[in-house]
Amino acid sequence: MPAYATNMRLKFPILALILEIITIILYAVFVTYDDGKGHGHDANSNHTSNPVELYPMFQDVHVMIFIGFGFLMTFLKKYGFSSVGINLLLAAFGLQWGLLMQGVWHMDHGKIKVDVFKMINADFSTATVLISFGAVLGKTSPVQLLIMTILEITIFSINEHLVANILSANDVGASMIIHAFGAYFGLAVARVLYRPGLRNGHENDGSVYHSDLFAMIGTVFLWMFWPSFNSAIAEPGFVQLTAVINTYLSLAACVLSAYAISSLVEHKGKLDMVHIQNATLAGGVAVGTCADMNIQPFGAMLIGVVAGIISTLGFKYLSVS
Amino acid sequence: MPAYATNMRLKFPILALILEIITIILYAVFVTYDDGKGHGHDANSNHTSNPVELYPMFQDVHVMIFIGFGFLMTFLKKYGFSSVGINLLLAAFGLQWGLLMQGVWHMDHGKIKVDVFKMINADFSTATVLISFGAVLGKTSPVQLLIMTILEITIFSINEHLVANILSANDVGASMIIHAFGAYFGLAVARVLYRPGLRNGHENDGSVYHSDLFAMIGTVFLWMFWPSFNSAIAEPGFVQLTAVINTYLSLAACVLSAYAISSLVEHKGKLDMVHIQNATLAGGVAVGTCADMNIQPFGAMLIGVVAGIISTLGFKYLSVS
Amino acid sequence: MPAYATNMRLKFPILALILEIITIILYAVFVTYDDGKGHGHDANSNHTSNPVELYPMFQDVHVMIFIGFGFLMTFLKKYGFSSVGINLLLAAFGLQWGLLMQGVWHMDHGKIKVDVFKMINADFSTATVLISFGAVLGKTSPVQLLIMTILEITIFSINEHLVANILSANDVGASMIIHAFGAYFGLAVARVLYRPGLRNGHENDGSVYHSDLFAMIGTVFLWMFWPSFNSAIAEPGFVQLTAVINTYLSLAACVLSAYAISSLVEHKGKLDMVHIQNATLAGGVAVGTCADMNIQPFGAMLIGVVAGIISTLGFKYLSVS
């Protein structure tokens, strides 16, 4: 497509560079390092004496965003390489923009003071974009995707602020609701769009086999690190431990029910990769809104089991196949 | 195989759901969160003030279990995808069951109080199952594998308790002996079974090449994070540092001797992937039983070198090829 | 090649075993565990009360060395498997040798006391070798590579000592300059050598596609964990946080400019994997020398943007294509 190419050649680089330059100017005016002397509204970030204490959890979330989401979409074989590459582009810009959009609500003497807590939230804000990206993969240009990134993260940050701070809703839970529905809806759409295509395009099984293994890299990293995702911004101490345990058990229980229902509804009792991915996501998402609450371990597991059943049935009977 | 399929369609989902429901009921009765107020026998878990201090090490072990073991077996190309998927199923159920079976020996007021320390041990208990799974991959149904999981983890937990608490053996070392021999024996069996098959089935080299690279993902993650595996439940402080250093150096030394012997005994002096995997595992396993002891860095390296030599020779002359 | 094979069969195992035995003897004489009682010159390693506090950052660096560099080179399809395997060999020997060579300058009562800080530095010293390895991949034997490892790490350690301690240069910055130029030069060479070959050898697109995805595993892990690389040996506390933030933002900004310039200079506005890898590396390397300084977030981003532009233009117009 020479027309598209010429377009791209001019529009994409100009847009990308302009956005980056605007972002840098805004950073020059508004953003500085956290120096530990802040009295911001952001209570959680001041709980710890060591400013990099949350760093390992940040890196877990980082792996989910860049490896997890990046490779999850490689099962869309045709767009496999671009899924990892464009995922990197959108998330790299998204986190810069997200830090800014989320930070304006928590300024300290007119400055956004960056710390690991804010970096985790910035990664979170990109998740919504990456999910939407999954739904439109292969149908949009990088230019459209960059514009989508700006819009979606801006709206997400305003929403998050309204729900959490104006309506005084539970902070972790509220932002999780947003994540959860965003993520889940997006992935559902992606799968609905993807499955008919997969069924028709099975001419090269070896290749599909390898693409599935690449997708499993994303899936398993998401599954493993979801406890970090749900607990990273929880109150430090036993509340954070509770969020870890609830997510860990919900995810484990969800695997059993998702595999069970998958094997029940599939033609030959065979396990389908898409159900493993349901298991991955449903348990973590479903428990996300109450991960830091005292729902007891068995409560978290019940949530996981139900999420695994509903999501697998949903994908079976709501998707076009 | 329609008969197998019908079987599977009924038996597997029913078994999986029943096991999960029984597990949830047991959790409802016996399991709660650690609240930091316990006086259990489980001394190690009370050493630290921050309840998520061990969490990064837990995640390393988690990556070993789900990425490491999952992808290690993808070199069995034919079963590649199912190895990652079934690995997830067995480990997800196994850790729920293991937490229960290991926890009954350390109850506090009739409750198993979950903390990161217990989560690491639960992950450990699944390792024995995953190793056995490696040996029987492609020869057993998911139903058989789930039953194997229950039995093996129950026996493992009783064994572990007997050795560690009744016989008053060294806690870290004892459980490591169990891990070590279980793991190593299982992997040896898997390789013996696998190698003739590989030799006969080389018709598609490109595919084998890629399968080898997937297996390297598992191998290298196991190699890198083995210091976490051997030190995660060691006494915090300098004892834990000792376990990290010993494992790190043993693994490094083992690579040299495994590659050297491999190149010596192979037809054309070529390195074989299976020897790299020996290097991966032999050094970590061999030093596991004494990783937290003062064997000095050079002692750990000697253990690694010898382990690399023995395991490579073992695979060469004990396997059918 | 039977001659090479016979050669290899004798030379490589003998060299590898002799090097390992010499190393173990040196460890027996000079190396012991850190016991927290040292008064070495190595101030940074005594800042923390918990001896494994830096361990999560060490593991991030470990993943960069063994997964990052190992898989980065798999885009050289022909040498794909050996790139991961030989990378493991060289890094495993290199870290043992590096610990020794770096340690002799910081002895305490005639002993090198191993701690996590020294383990991180040992991993760093292997990075220079792995980069050079990238430049000569497929053109050298394991014997030559092992000798290169010894020589390069010895010279690197002397250099590092001279610059940091004798010339009293900034410690983090100085070693970073060495890393940076070593790494960047090596990668530039590797790419220059590689690209003409790739253009000629495109007969098997599916395979190249998968090789690219494997390379993305290495690329993305390097990109994600580079903040750990640049901050791991920084002064604990807010200086370390500064190094994390600067690297994180420089890398993010670099992605935008590298993609933009890449799309501008390529034939059809298409993104090229090699540019994504530029983005990965240029931002992290460029900010490395001043990551722990107060250059402000926007300063780090400017460095990233410029690095992305220069490196992409450099690869376009300096490489033979």
Q: Do C269 and A16 touch (CB under 8 A)?
A: no
Q: Do C93 and B252 touch (CB under 8 A)?
A: yes
Exposure string of C165-180, with b = 16+ CB inside 10 Å and e = fewer, is eeeeeebbbbbbbbbb
From CA A142, how far away is CA A19, in angstroms rounded? 13
Please list every residue in chain A whose beta carbon sits closer than 8 Å to the beta carbon of residue B85. 216, 271, 273, 276
pLDDT score of A210:
74
Q: What is the ipTM of this complex?
A: 0.84
Cα-to-chain-centroid distance, residue A240: 19
Q: Which of A187, A103, A86 is nearest to A146 (CA)?
A: A86
From CA A92, how far away is CA C304, in angstroms rounded? 12
Q: Which of C55, C229, C236 is nearest to B56 (CA)?
A: C55
Please list every residue in chain A whose beta carbon sits closer than 8 Å to the beta carbon of residue C279. 88, 92
Total-model pTM? 0.86
Task: Give yes or no for residue C53 having a pLDDT over 50.
Answer: yes
From CA B209, how far away is CA B190, in angstroms rounded? 20
pLDDT tens for B240-252 read 999 999 999 999 9
Tokens of C162: 């001279």
Q: Do C24 and B210 touch (CB under 8 A)?
A: no
- Chain A: partners with 3+ C-beta pairs within 8 Å: B, C
Q: Do A241 and B51 touch (CB under 8 A)?
A: yes
Task: Give yes or no for residue B196 having a pLDDT over 50.
Answer: no
pLDDT tens for C1-31 read 344 545 556 888 899 999 999 999 999 999 9
Please spell the DSSP secondary structure of A265-295, one letter per residue.
HSTTS---HHHHHHHHHHHHHHHHTTTTS--
Q: Which of B272, B255, B125, A32 is nearest to C241 (CA)?
A: A32
B66: number of CA atoms within 13 Å, CB side?
A: 28
| DSSP state letter for C293 | S
Tokens of A259: 């595999």
From CA C316, how far away is CA C321, in angstroms rounded? 8
**Strand (E) positions, chain B?**
31-33, 112-114
Tokens of B217: 């993902």
Q: Do C51 and B259 touch (CB under 8 A)?
A: no
| DSSP state letter for C202 | T
Helix (H) or strand (E) holding C114: strand C112-114
- Listed in sequence order, the residues at least 6 apart from B106 whose beta carbon sits closer than 8 Å to its beta carbon are B40, B41, B42, B112, B118
d(CA B123, nearest CA chain A) in Å: 11
Please list every residue in chain B whose beta carbon sits closer than 8 Å to the beta carbon of residue C5. 268-270
Q: For residues B308 and B261, is the Cβ–Cβ distance under 8 A?
A: yes
β-strand A112-114 against A31-33: which pairing, if any?
Answer: parallel
Q: Do A252 and B96 touch (CB under 8 A)?
A: yes
Q: Which of B297, B247, B244 is nearest to C28 (CA)?
A: B297
Please list every residue in chain C whose beta carbon sits closer than 8 Å to the beta carbon of residue B225. 59
Which residue in chain B is spatially nearest to C12 when comparing CA positions?
B260
B97 residue type, one letter: W
pLDDT tens for B116-162 read 999 998 998 888 888 777 767 767 788 888 988 898 888 888 877 77
pLDDT tens for B91-125 read 999 999 999 999 998 888 889 999 999 999 899 88
Question: What is the C-alpha end-to-end distance of chain B, expressed in Å?
Answer: 31
d(CA A116, nearest CA chain C) in Å: 8
Q: What confidence tier does A207 reach under pLDDT thresholds 50, 70, 90?
A: low
In this complex, the residue of B206, B245, B260 whose CB is nearest that of residue C16 is B260
- Listed in sequence order, the residues at least 6 apart from B155 whose beta carbon sits closer than 8 Å to its beta carbon are none
Q: Do A221 and B116 touch (CB under 8 A)?
A: no
- Listed in sequence order, the residues at least 6 apart from C22 whose beta carbon sits closer than 8 Å to its beta carbon are none
Please list every residue in chain C whose beta carbon sits closer than 8 Å to the beta carbon of residue B271. 82, 85, 142
Which residue in chain C is spatially nearest to A19 when comparing CA positions?
C256
From CA A299, how far away is CA A296, in angstroms rounded? 5
Most confident stretch, A145-149, A175-179, A263-267, C19-23 = C19-23
| DSSP state letter for B111 | B
Q: What confidence tier does A108 reach under pLDDT thresholds 50, 70, 90?
A: confident
In this complex, the residue of C56, C268, C296 whose CB is nearest that of residue A5 is C268
pLDDT tens for B213-231 read 888 898 889 999 999 988 8
